[in-house]
Amino acid sequence: MLDHTCTEEFGRSRIWLDVFDFNKRGRHLYETHGYRFIKTSGYYGKVLKIYERILSP
């Protein structure tokens, strides 16, 4: 449903999300669903990992 909304209603071809580095379960879930790690960032002194998923047209 999220894929369809992003591609059909908003015309997007990718989804980005961020997750705190210490959230191992969350990172595993995203990786299992096709998201790939692209870079790290920070948020109030905590490490964020940025993930991306390319959507099919």
Segment 1-44, tens digit of pLDDT: 788 888 888 888 999 999 999 999 999 999 999 999 999 999 99
Supply 57's token pair.
């047209």
Residues 6+ apart with CB under 8 A from 37: 27, 31, 49, 50, 51
In this predicted structure, what is the pLDDT of residue 57?
A: 66
Please tell me the distance from the alpha carbon of residue 13 to that of residue 29, in angstroms, as a whole number.
21
In this predicted structure, what is the pLDDT of residue 33?
A: 92
Which amino acid, one-letter code, is at 18?
D
In this predicted structure, what is the pLDDT of residue 29?
A: 95
